[in-house]
Amino acid sequence: MGLVDKKNSRVKRKTAEAPMTIKKFAASYKQTAFAGTLVALAILGDSFLYAALPVHYREVGISLIMVGWLLSLNRWVRLFTNAAAGWLGSRLGWSTVFTAALWLTAITTLGYGHTKSVLILLLLRGQWGLCWSLLRLGGQAAVLIESPPGRRASYMGVFTGIYRLGSLAGMVIGGYLADRVGFRMATLWLSVATALGAIIGSLPPAMAGRWGAPSRDKNASHDSFRVATGWIPKGREEWAVCICAVSLYLVTSGIVTSTVGLLVTTRLGDRIALGPMVLGAGALSGLLLSMRWVIDFLLGPLLGWHADRRGRFLVLAIGYSVIVMMLLILSKAHGFLVIALALVALFCSGTACAVTLDGWAGDIAGRTPGRFLPVYATWIDAGAAIGPLMGYYLSEICSLAHGYLASAFLISIGGAICWALSHDAQK
């Protein structure tokens, strides 16, 4: 009878725990989605600049070269602020620094359109760099806490897909508003939406840490500041992830994303007829760039699931190969349909590689966000910071086509080094 009672007891326990497991699974996705929503509202102003600034830079009173500096400066700043963000989140609490970043972002977005000073614009872009360090690491902290090992790529896909809806809105709606009512009024409307996210993030449920991440890193060691401030990876696997990330983001988030507006203007003109409609270059470049964020939202979780299920190396190999082919096509393409299809294929592959690398970095970091994620984020930002400057510099001295050919070469080299290091790490 004792054995039977114990067996029945185990069956009852499993039956009772099953609904809780499902409930916890649903709650973890809900919290991850909430963190992504707050970041989506915060990222509106930054994404708006990528669509509107290359077209409306004369209205702002800056040169084309300055466009490249403004679009990349925040990424250079993040090379230093990622470490500080990791330490602040671990010590002060992720919800506290996350909410502070939401309010700073609203002020930054408003400032873009209400100053004629280049110096102030540069300072605002630097401030956004600090805000993004806090927002990204805070959101990824939520994912690490909520996701089990082996499923982090899919959770990262959910988080990324949702916050990229903010990029979609910033580029499409922001680009349209800039064409219709001017750059200044567009920033005003976007800053109102960003302030709404800051208000939501300041409400008691969010401030209590229920948006996903814990109040602070309970497992952070006494030398967490030293660990967080390091930017040099340790071990072949960390080097492989970081080199793969820097090459990917240099090309996709750096060169390609920052030059889509220039690509539209030089290849298609200032006014483009699409059937019965005629769109301005700002609105069309925003529409093309928004495809990347639609892909992140619709395919990010699915591509992350495939990376978890089928292996990260297969996904990265296919993704890098497609990106190289699309860059070769973009270097020569002049028709709208060819450009649009090549960008769609490139963005799909970029999303697949990005969520795969996020999941890989999450597995290395474990459940302590301040351990490896600041290092990983710094390498991402290094590539994303160099990209706009490289793209516009090559466009000035050579041509945009040469910039895309150089990008294909660089990402191929990065992929080869990543494969060699990861292959050695598994031996």
pLDDT digits (tens, 9 = 90+) for 345-386: 999 999 999 988 988 887 887 756 666 788 888 898 888 878
**DSSP label at 148?**
P
pLDDT of residue 149: 66
Residue 6's pLDDT band, with cuts at 50, 70 and 90, is very low
From 315, 289, 313, select the one nearest 302 (Cα to Cα): 315
Q: Check pLDDT > 90 for residue 128.
A: yes
Work out the pLDDT band at 12, boundaries 50, 70, 90.
very low
pLDDT band at residue 253 using 50, 70 and 90 as cut-offs: confident
At 291, list the tokens.
Answer: 């495809």
Which residues in 123-151 are b (16+ Cβ under 10 Å) and which e?
A: ebbbbbbbbbbbbbbbbbbbbbbbbeeeb
Nearest Cα to 385, choosing from 292, 253, 259, 256?
Answer: 253
CATH top-level class of 16-215+223-425: mainly alpha
In terms of pLDDT, which residue wins out, 208 or 415?
415
Give 424's pLDDT tier (boundaries 50, 70, 90).
low
Of all residues in the chain, what percent carry a pLDDT higher than 70? 80
Q: Which residues contact 306 (CB under 8 A, 6 or more apart)?
A: 315, 352
What values do phi and psi take at 278, rounded to 5? Answer: -125, 120
Q: Higher confidence at residue 412 or residue 365?
A: 412
Q: Is the confidence at residue 7, as pLDDT, over 80?
A: no
Is-contact 133 81, C-beta < 8 A? yes
- Mean pLDDT, residues 161-189: 85
- pLDDT confidence of residue 292: 81
Amino acid 343: pLDDT: 92
For the residues 381-395, what does the mean pLDDT come to?
A: 81
For the cut 70, the answer to whether the pLDDT of residue 153 exceeds it is yes
pLDDT (tens digit, 9 = 90+) per residue, 270-291?
A: 666 666 776 677 777 777 877 8
**C-alpha pair distances (Å), 376 with each of 43, 290, 379, 382:** 20, 25, 5, 10
pLDDT of residue 44: 92
**Res. 305: pLDDT tops 80:** no
Over residues 22-40, the mean pLDDT reads 73
Q: What's the token pair of residue 397? A: 């001295």
**Threshold 0.75, pTM exceeds:** no
* Lookup: tokens for 183: 């750059």
**Nearest CA to 330 among 288, 382, 359?**
288
Over range 197-207, report the average pLDDT: 74
The CA distance from 213 to 101, in Å, is 15
